[in-house]
Amino acid sequence: MNRPLRKLRFGTLLLVLFALAAVSACAPRLGVSLAVAPQESVAGGGRWPQFRGPNRDGVSSETGLLKTWAEGGPPLVWKVQGIGTGHSAPSVADGRIYGMSYRGKDEHVWALSESDGKAIWSVRIGPANFAVGPQAHDCRISAKSEPVFSANLSHGLL
């Protein structure tokens, strides 16, 4: 396939993906609600420390996972609300769940206890930044390239 046609197809694919992201961002928001089912894999030492897992491939090395759920799904272990409107994939490591969310016009990074969902720490990292793209939020597509933050996992200090 010639190069201009390949670029056109790739550009069209990106445009379609961004449009789908924008449409999904316009759905009514109910806030973030995390629900956790009892699974030995994460609590037993499994780690999911980044988007798409330890190898960034979306594949878990855990064994003995259920192929189907029982009717009604697994029992709810805990539920948390009020941490904001979510926009990140959670990371799980060392008994904690880490994530990012918006609260009003501010962006926060937080850690929750994996066992009971209680907040361990939460840090405001600044105002929400929609200056550059691509990211879907509040019916807008934009991206955040700066600033980059690095927080201490034990207490969240930047």
Structure tokens, 2:
């010639």
pLDDT in tens, 113-153: 999 999 999 888 888 765 544 445 455 444 454 555 555 65
User: All domains of the chain, ordered by start, with CATH?
Assistant: 3-143 (2.40.10.480)
DSSP state of 125: E
- Note the pLDDT of residue 113: 93
Query: Cβ contacts of residue 3 below 8 Å, gap of 6+?
Result: none
Return d(Cα 115, Cα 120) in angstroms, integer.
12
Please tell me whether the overall predicted TM-score, pTM, comes out greater than 0.75 for this model.
no
